[in-house]
Amino acid sequence: QVQLVESGGGLVQAGGSLRLSCAASGGTISTYAMGWFRQAPGKEREFVGGISWSGAYTYYADSVKGRFTLSRDNAKNTVYLQMNSLKPEDTAVYYCAAANTKVVNPSPLTYGYWGQGNQVAVSS
């Protein structure tokens, strides 16, 4: 049973940067596509981006494209979300998720394993 734990969130001023980490235990995620989602208060969970099992392919929501970067280190069983030029509208709880597929899918229904969530708050 894969377990995911996010870390690295916090409070940052607009224009600042944060890096979220998602560490897996209980199994390898090296063959899993990984996704990041976020949920702001009163809003539905939305896809932020995803990375294929090898790391060769990444996909981003239009709202974060050019500002966020996904990467993974399969040897460390960890995925990263580098967030630059943060905006107040990026404020949300961020979740990483693992899908037992090789390719990225933006639908949360694809993902069978989820982290507990990590708060990111961006002040103006």
Write the pLDDT tens digit of every residue in 74-111. 999 999 999 999 999 999 999 999 999 888 999 999 99
pLDDT at 50: 98
Integer Cα distance of 51 and 36 in angstroms: 9
User: Rounded to the nearest 5 degrees, what angle is found at the Cα of 120, between the Cα atoms of 92 and 84?
Assistant: 105
pLDDT at 49: 98
The owner of tokens 């995803």 is 50
Q: What share of the chain is helix, strand, coil (3-state, %, to 5)?
A: 5, 50, 45
Tens digit of each residue's pLDDT (9 = 90 or more) over 2-43: 999 999 999 999 999 999 999 999 999 999 999 999 999 999
According to DSSP, the residues that pair with 24 across neighbouring strands are 4
Burial readout 66-77 (b: 16 or more C-beta within 10 A, e: otherwise) = eebbbebebeeb
According to DSSP, the residues that pair with 13 across neighbouring strands are 123
